[in-house]
Amino acid sequence: MKASDLFVAALEAEGVEYIFAVPGEENLDSLESLRTSSIQLVVTRHEQGAGFMAATYGRLTGKAGVCLSTLGRCDKPDHTCRLCGAGGFPPHHHHRSETNQDIEAGTIPDPLCKASTQIVNGNRIPSLVREGFRLAQEERPGAVLLELPEDIAEEDTIEPIIPPHDRRYAVAGDAVLDEAAKRILAAERSLLLIGAGANRRRASKALRRFVAETGFPFFDTQMGKGVVDENSELYLGTAALSSGDYVHCAIDKADLIVNIGHDVVEKPPFFMEPDGQTVIHINYKAAEVDQVYFPQLEVIGDIAGAVERLGKRLDGKLNCDRSYYTALHKEIASHIRETSDDDRFPMVPQRVVADVRSVMGRDDIVALDNGIYKIWFARNYIANEPGTILLDNALATMGAGLPSAMMAAMLSPGRRVLARRLEKAFECNGQVAGAYEVEPGIVALKKKWQHIK
Ligand SMILES: Cc1ncc(C[n+]2csc(CCOP(=O)(O)OP(=O)(O)O)c2C)c(N)n1
């Protein structure tokens, strides 16, 4: 089989539905192989759009999104999404002489990707594709780049495809779960924090049950919004800032925080202090420790499994003084209501967020770029479902919102999608400017508002 056909067949075996691509001379063989495949080719005008769409696919489906570029790069350094990028490349035997760059092209993605490999033999395609998907999809998910040089793409190959297999994460052992339950039950004002790493389908289901059964008061991060329905008396807010926001009144009063899905790509939701709250870290991976995050107990392994088993241990015995939290919940809700009908013009962002919320259904999707307005959305927009507010609290690139909204609209027919399509994003990211006609079904919101204190 021709190598580019094998490459595309290996992608089909991984369940790839779409490839977001910039066609060019160096990936012609792959494009020809794609022409007769089950994979839909979505041509974008710039690699960035392809990267953002693939990243959003990863975030919404839990499977790797794939983008394909010609000479040049489409990888996105983002450890919050699953992404597999493939690049066409000049002939392998011309390596260094046709890279069209001053610097060694092969080293560029190294600090940006979980792995980056040039395929130098067509028969290695099945194993490299399988390994690329394994790595991209494994916690913490992130970008992987495979380069297929032109001359390798034409080769004849004989290797069979390696199909994906089932894989489960281990669940933390009884001893550490007993210890976590003991500390939670001994605390007087414990709080649950839901971060980006908990934004996974199984984890979200388990967390919803956990909160309903235990009555745990909770707050979330920007990328944890909607994992548990924020329309709840137990919700205390979203930590869009690291300190000094309303929600920090609750955090400052807490003596223990159970931090589920902490991810260092997010702005810290609060700063730990040496004599501050005890923190229990529950995640697939161990905590990356720094001056503001040094949890005293770590429960490592599958989040859904840990949360289910912890819930059984707490079994309605949570000894939490809720009176302060209940009063605070009311106070924050009334603050948000106060500005929601402010009729000044230009409009204040709080009013914009309130109006958007009032016309969007619980499953509809808002996709954002970056800026102060994002803080307002994080704080004031009540998210009911996971994946309904798409933003990066990580490397928040201006210009991501619109391609992200286009992907969301493709994956969610029938749901309304709103992109904040702002002039500033186009100024900061010329590649995105004019690169898209807004799709039917996406409403683009133009900026015309003023910030107030
Ligand atoms: C490509 C890119 N360039 C620059 C930045 C830095 N940046 C972050 S927010 C921002 C300004 C946002 O302004 P606007 O969209 O008008 O929103 P506002 O902050 O006024 O709400 C800039 C330049 C970025 N995140 N991405």
Counting from 1 in the atom list of ligand 1, the atom nearest the Cα of 447 is 16
Q: Is 398 in the pocket of ligand 1 (CB under 6 A)?
A: yes
CA nearest neighbour of 388 among 22, 169, 26, 60: 60
Q: What residue segments make up the domains of the chain, in order of their start?
A: 3-153, 174-327, 339-446
Cβ of residue 372 lying under 6 Å from some atom of ligand 1: yes
Q: Between vectors from CA 154 to CA 152 and to CA 160, what angle results, nearest 5°?
A: 80
Give yes or no for residue 175 CB within 6 A of ligand 1: no
Fold classification of 339-446 is Rossmann fold (3.40.50)
Residue 278 Cα to ligand 1 midpoint, Å, equals: 35
Among protein residues, the one with the nearest Cα to ligand 1's atom 22 is 371
CA distance 159 to 124: 8
* pLDDT at residue 361 in the model: 96
Residue pLDDT tens, the chain, 453 long: 999 999 999 999 999 999 999 998 889 999 999 999 999 999 998 888 899 999 999 999 999 999 998 875 544 444 444 556 666 566 665 555 555 566 666 677 788 899 999 999 999 999 999 999 999 999 999 999 999 999 999 999 999 999 999 999 999 999 999 999 999 999 999 999 999 999 999 999 999 999 999 999 999 999 999 999 999 999 999 999 999 999 999 999 999 999 999 999 899 999 999 999 999 999 999 999 999 999 999 999 999 999 999 999 998 888 777 888 999 999 988 888 888 899 998 889 999 999 999 999 999 999 998 888 899 999 999 999 999 999 988 777 888 888 999 999 999 999 999 987 666 666 666 555 444 444 545 666 655 556 554
> What is the fold of 174-327?
Rossmann fold (3.40.50)
Alpha-carbon distance of 396 to 404, in angstroms, equals: 12
Q: What is the pLDDT of residues 234-249, one digit of tens each?
A: 999 999 999 999 999 9
Residues 282 and 277: their CA atoms lie apart, in Å, by: 16
Closest by CA to 170, choosing from 263, 285, 61, is: 285
Ligand 1 centre distance from Cα of residue 398 (Å): 6
Smallest CA-to-CA distance from 246 within 349, 186, 336 is with 336
Model pLDDT, residue 86 = 60
Contact 70, 25 (CB under 8 A): yes
Q: Is 277 in the pocket of ligand 1 (CB under 6 A)?
A: no
Fold match, 174-327 / 339-446: yes
Question: Ligand 1, residues 353, 421, 428: which to mutate, most atoms within 8 A of Cβ?
Answer: 428
DSSP 207: H
pTM over 0.75: yes
Ligand 1 atom closest to the CA of 370, numbered from 1: 9
Q: Is 216 in the pocket of ligand 1 (CB under 6 A)?
A: no
In this structure, which residue's CA is closest to atom 4 in ligand 1? 428
Task: With beta carbons less than 8 A apart as the criterion, state whether 71 and 425 touch.
Answer: no
pLDDT computed for residue 345 by the predictor:
87
Which CATH architecture does the domain made up of 3-153 adopt?
A: 3-Layer(aba) Sandwich (3.40)
Q: What share of the chain is helix, strand, coil (3-state, %, to 5)?
A: 40, 15, 45
Taking CA atoms, 127 is separated from 33, 34, 142, 149, 373, in Å, by: 19, 20, 19, 17, 45
Under a CB-based contact definition with an 8 Å cutoff, are residues 443 and 418 in contact? Answer: yes
CB of 373 shorter than 6 A to ligand 1: yes
pLDDT digits (tens, 9 = 90+) for 395-430: 778 888 889 999 999 999 999 999 876 666 666 665
DSSP state of 199: -
